[in-house]
Amino acid sequence: MHRKMTRERYLSDAELAAFMRAVRERRHVHQPRDYAFFALIANAGIRPSEGMRLTRGDVHMSAAKPWVHVRRNHPRHAPQPVQDLVIHRDVATIVRAFIASLPDDERARKLFPFTKRQSARLYHYCAQKAGISPPRKIYALRHTAGKRMLSATSDLRLVQAIMGHVRLKATSVYLDVDPAILYHAQSALERI
């Protein structure tokens, strides 16, 4: 079944900025961890469960080309077990700051050691602080990343590869979101 990408399934740019600001300004001992976790999901498009599996060894924060080694969720019939994703330098700065704050004995463990329920509750708490309504699921951050990637590149196959989708149909839901992509394609045809 093809589900349309409705407005309730992703965040606008203003909502994303307000959400990240709410996470950044949160006064809590785990604020650097939470900020790095949500920045990775919202910008790299990784699934929350994939982010929770990341270890220090999966994150490579060189200044030239920061990247993350993601162990993808995959169905049995079409395995795509790992993928290396280049991440934006601003996100790398956030993750680098978080890793630097870790004690040496914690660097080999999971970077984001919380459960799905804990991450969802934290997401809802920060979304509420940011004034985002109606309430959306944590997956809205991943959908937001997919929508933004497609808007920036207009390349459905590229977004499919980055998001780790097995079928192009899963990626095509992002086409329903942004009519600017259709306008861009039509204006390109007019120049031919």
62: domain CATH number? 1.10.443.10
CA–CA separation, 171 vs 158, rounded Å?
A: 10
Residue 175 lies in a domain: no
Give CB contacts under 8 A, 24+ apart, made by 158-162: 162/44, 162/45, 162/85
Domain that holds residue 69: 8-139
pTM listed for this prediction: 0.84
pLDDT tens for the chain, residues 1 to 192: 445 555 568 899 999 999 999 999 999 989 999 999 999 999 999 999 999 999 988 999 887 899 999 987 765 544 556 688 999 999 999 999 999 888 876 555 889 988 999 999 999 999 999 999 887 899 999 999 998 998 888 888 889 888 888 888 888 888 775 566 667 666 766 655
Residue 188 lies in a domain: no
Residue 67 lies in a domain: yes
Pairing of strands 59-60, 82-86: unpaired
Residue 1 lies in a domain: no
Domains held by the chain: number: 1
Residue 36 lies in a domain: yes
Residue 189 lies in a domain: no
Residue 180 lies in a domain: no
